[in-house]
Structure 1
Amino acid sequence: MSYSFSLSDVAFLASAAGERALAECDALALTDATRIADVEAARRLAGARSAAVLETVLLRRKAVSKLDSAGRWLFTGDALQQASASPVARHRAKRLAGRDVHDVTCSIGADTAEAAKVARRCLGSDVDSVRLAMARHNCPGVTLVRADALHPVSRGTVVVADPARRDGAGRRTWNPKDFVPPLNSLAEVYAGRDLVVKCSPGLDRAAVSWAREVELVSLDGQVREACLWTGGLATAGRRASVLRSDGSAWTITDEEPDEIAVAAPGEWIIDPDGAVVRAGLVRHYGARHGLWQLDERIAYLTGNSPPPGVRAFQVLEHGPYREKDLRALIRRREVGRLEILIRGLDVDPDALRRRLKPRGPVEATVVLTRIGRSPHAFFCSSSLSHM
Structure 2
Amino acid sequence: MGYTFDREDVVFLRSAAGRDAVAELSSLPLTTASRLADVAAARRLVGERFAAAALETAVLRRRAESKLDDCGEWLFTDTALQQATASVVARHRAQRLAGRDVHDVTCSIGADLAALTAVAARCAGSDLDRVRLLMAQHNLAVAGRSAVLVEADALHPVTRNTAVVADPARRDDTGRRRWSPADLVPPLNELLDVYAHRDLVVKCAPGLDFAAVPDTAEVEVVSLAGQVREAALWLGGLADARARRRATVLRPDGTGWTITDAEPDDCPAGEVRQWIVDPDGAVVRAGLVRHYAARHGLAQLDPRIAYLTGDQPPPGVRAFRVFEHGRYSEKSLRAQLRRHHVGRLEILVRGLDVDPDALRRRLKLKGDEDATVVLTRVGDNAMAYLCRAERT
The answer (yes or no) to whether the contact 2:265–2:290 under 8 Å persists in 1 is yes
Q: For structure 1, which segment, 242-251 or 345-354, has the greater mean C-alpha deviation from structure 2 after superposition?
A: 345-354
Q: CA deviation at 1:354?
A: 1.8
- The residue aligned with 1:46 is 46
Distance across 2 between alignment mates of 1:369 and 1:29 = 44
**Counterpart check, 1:346 vs 2:353:** yes
**Counterpart check, 1:194 vs 2:223:** no
The answer (yes or no) to whether the contact 1:307–1:386 under 8 Å persists in 2 is no
Q: CA deviation at 1:33?
A: 4.5
2:287 to 280, 290, 293: 280
SS of residue paired to 1:226: strand
**Counterpart check, 1:255 vs 2:262:** yes
Give 1:147-186 correspondences, 5 Å limit. 147-186=152-191
Gaps spanning 5+ residues in structure 2: where? none
Distance across 1 between alignment mates of 2:361 and 2:25 = 46
**Counterpart check, 1:372 vs 2:372:** no
Distance across 2 between alignment mates of 1:190 and 1:33 = 48
Per-residue CA deviation, residues 234-280 of structure 1 (Å, 9 max, x unaligned), is: 11210000001122211111111111221211100000000000001
1:239 to 236, 241, 246: 246
- The residue aligned with 1:75 is 76
Give 1:214-363 correspondences, 5 Å limit. 214-235=219-240, 236-363=243-370
Q: For structure 1, which segment, 259-268 or 106-115, has the greater mean C-alpha deviation from structure 2 after superposition?
A: 259-268
The answer (yes or no) to whether the contact 1:96–1:118 under 8 Å persists in 2 is yes
Q: CA deviation at 1:232?
A: 1.3
The answer (yes or no) to whether the contact 2:92–2:254 under 8 Å persists in 1 is no
Per-residue CA deviation, residues 354-384 of structure 1 (Å, 9 max, x unaligned), is: 2222111111110011111111110111x2x
Gaps spanning 5+ residues in structure 1: where? none
Distance of aligned partners of 1:170 and 1:41 in 2 relative to their CA distance in 1, 3 Å threshold: closer
Distance across 1 between alignment mates of 2:182 and 2:216 = 15
Per-residue CA deviation, residues 319-354 of structure 1 (Å, 9 max, x unaligned), is: 111221111111121111111111111122122222
- The residue aligned with 2:119 is 118
The answer (yes or no) to whether the contact 1:158–1:193 under 8 Å persists in 2 is yes
What value does the CA root-mean-square deviation take over the aligned residues?
A: 1.3
Per-residue CA deviation, residues 191-211 of structure 1 (Å, 9 max, x unaligned), is: 111110000000000012255
Provide the aligned length of Structure 1 versus Structure 2: 385
The answer (yes or no) to whether the contact 1:212–1:228 under 8 Å persists in 2 is yes
- The residue aligned with 2:4 is 4
Distance across 2 between alignment mates of 1:168 and 1:41 = 29
* 1:55 partner letter: E
**Counterpart check, 1:18 vs 2:18:** yes
Distance across 2 between alignment mates of 1:31 and 1:167 = 25
* 2:19 partner letter: E
Q: For structure 1, which segment, 80-89 or 331-340, has the greater mean C-alpha deviation from structure 2 after superposition?
A: 331-340
The answer (yes or no) to whether the contact 1:271–1:310 under 8 Å persists in 2 is no
The answer (yes or no) to whether the contact 1:306–1:386 under 8 Å persists in 2 is no
Distance of aligned partners of 1:158 and 1:40 in 2 relative to their CA distance in 1, 3 Å threshold: same
TM-score, normalised via structure 2 length: 0.95
* 2:255 partner letter: S
* 2:17 partner letter: A
Q: For structure 1, which segment, 298-307 or 22-31, has the greater mean C-alpha deviation from structure 2 after superposition?
A: 22-31
Per-residue CA deviation, residues 20-54 of structure 1 (Å, 9 max, x unaligned), is: 22222222232345434433332232222121111
Distance of aligned partners of 1:248 and 1:123 in 2 relative to their CA distance in 1, 3 Å threshold: same
TM-score, normalised via structure 1 length: 0.97
* 1:132 partner letter: L
**Matched residues, percent identical?**
68
Q: CA deviation at 1:156?
A: 0.6
Q: CA deviation at 1:309?
A: 2.4
Distance across 1 between alignment mates of 2:88 and 2:71 = 13
Distance across 2 between alignment mates of 1:169 and 1:53 = 21
Distance of aligned partners of 1:33 and 1:327 in 2 relative to their CA distance in 1, 3 Å threshold: closer
Q: CA deviation at 1:169?
A: 2.9
